[in-house]
Chains A and B, each alone.
Chain A
Amino acid sequence: MSSHFQSKRGKANPTISTASLPDIIFMLLFFFMVVTVLRDTELKLKITVPNATQLTKLEEKSLVNYIYIGKPTPKYESVYGTKPRIQLADQIVDGPENIPLFLERHKVKVPESRHPLITTSLRVDGEVTMGIVQDVKTMLRKQNQLRLNYSARKKEDI
């Protein structure tokens, strides 16, 4: 009886088939390609967003435009100075007067019916003073862009 079993075992191929491995890896790859968003803008400012607890998640990326405020990184200090500046898309601009055009450029990419849902995400460094932020807020109000999100990180200690 035992010899009968042994003979059967001896015939089996001991290698594991790896033929399906590429498929599995490709599946993973596609998953990551779909869920991640490629960053198309280079951040020229040093931004550490403040911490907060009452956070809301921004759902649709296509409805969000970003305004960055912060001090230029050391690489750009020679060009833009050390004072806090505003960055729209991938350019550091002189002041809030450039915001209307930026908003309009984003708006044309969004279907008309969804315009009221457009949110502006303000990614502002914690050390920046409110003056420049206030100027941006005033400009957004003048442009009737009223949905605003103060970008913040989750506070861990609560």
Chain B
Amino acid sequence: MLKKKSGRGRMVNEINASSMADIAFLLLIFFLVTTQIVEDKGILVKLPPWSDEPPETLELISRNVFSVLVNAENKLLVRGEPAEISELRERAKEFIMNPTGREDLSQSPTKAIISLKNDRGTNYKTYIEVYNELKGAYDELWDEECRRKYGVAYSEELPLEYRKEIKAKIPMVLSEAEPTSYGAE
């Protein structure tokens, strides 16, 4: 009896925790491998609400409309002339602001309308590139306006009234027409 007690006393009264780290590491690596960090970024757009009645036809002065057509061969037609995607942003910016007061560009930023139309056979990639350039034109204009007025870069962190003011001055009007059915599969 006495012998037994002394034997117990000699035992280290502790669980060996050195393998715990290995187990935790194993779990950690498992999670690292199985999960993928999905980056969710994209171009945020707001669609116009659907109405069954045909939209009322607005009489627009042609100088205020910047029409962009993308056909089934992914070629661009800007204001009736062929164009490249690379020049789209600069042309859109010039059209919206009209800094030199040209007769054929928009009367004022608030009256400028960009009209985008594509075929059903247009590649999604081309469409996104075009949309990206047009949105980029507005983003750059907002940024310039913001720097001029408040001395800071335009961002979503800006107070809401600042953003509202800038967007009231240069509203983004991008109208998308129903696509023509060319090149449909």
Q: Hey, which bits of chain A sit against chain B, CB under 8 A?
A: 18-19, 21-22, 25-26, 28-29, 32-33, 36-39, 49-50, 52-58, 61, 64, 83, 119, 121-122, 124-131, 133-134, 137-138, 140-142, 144, 146-154
Q: Considering the complex of A and B, which 5 residue pairs feature the smallest CB-CB distances, nearest first?
A: A126-B125, A131-B120, A25-B24, A22-B20, A36-B35
* Chain A residues with CB under 8 A of B36: 36, 39
Dominant secondary structure at the A interface = mixed
Tell whether B17 is near chain A: CB-to-CB under 8 Å: yes
Given contacts A50-B124, A53-B136, A129-B122, contact A150 B45 (CB under 8 A): yes
Given contacts A37-B38, A146-B46, A150-B43, contact A124 B21 (CB under 8 A): no
CB pair B38 A39 closer than 8 Å: yes
In Å, the complex CA distance between A137 and B72 comes to: 19
CB pair B47 A146 closer than 8 Å: yes
Per-residue A-contact encoding for B26-62, CB less than 8 Å = 1, 0 else: 0110011011111111111111111000000000000
19 A–B pairs (Cβ distance < 8 Å), ordered by A: A21-B20, A36-B31, A37-B38, A38-B34, A39-B35, A39-B36, A54-B132, A54-B136, A56-B44, A64-B40, A126-B123, A129-B72, A130-B121, A134-B178, A141-B47, A142-B50, A144-B49, A146-B46, A152-B132
CB of B119, distance to nearest CB on chain A (Å): 7
CB of B134, distance to nearest CB on chain A (Å): 9
Tell whether B111 is near chain A: CB-to-CB under 8 Å: no
In Å, the complex CA distance between A81 and B40 comes to: 28
CB pair A56 B42 closer than 8 Å: yes
Q: Hey, which bits of chain B sit against chain A, CB under 8 A?
A: 17-18, 20-21, 23-25, 27-28, 31-32, 34-50, 72, 118-125, 127-129, 131-132, 135-136, 139, 156, 178-179, 181, 183-185
CB pair A148 B136 closer than 8 Å: no
CB pair B132 A52 closer than 8 Å: yes
CB pair A129 B123 closer than 8 Å: yes
* Chain A residues with CB under 8 A of B50: 138, 141-142, 144
Task: From the candidates A38, A58, A140, A151, name the one contacting B35 in the complex (CB within 8 A).
Answer: A38
Given contacts A18-B18, A130-B179, A140-B47, contact A29 B31 (CB under 8 A): yes
* Chain A residues with CB under 8 A of B23: 22
Task: From the candidates B24, B45, B47, B131, name the one contacting A29 in the complex (CB within 8 A).
Answer: B24
In Å, the complex CA distance between A55 and B43 comes to: 5
Count of chain A to chain B residue pairs whose CB atoms are closer than 8 Å in the complex? 155
In Å, the complex CA distance between A144 and B8 comes to: 74
In Å, the complex CA distance between A53 and B130 comes to: 11
CB pair A57 B123 closer than 8 Å: no
* Chain A residues with CB under 8 A of B43: 52, 54-56, 149-150, 152
CB of B76, distance to nearest CB on chain A (Å): 14
Task: From the candidates A19, A144, A149, name the one contacting B45 in the complex (CB within 8 A).
Answer: A149
* Chain A residues with CB under 8 A of B72: 129
In Å, the complex CA distance between A137 and B17 comes to: 57
CB of A65, distance to nearest CB on chain B (Å): 12
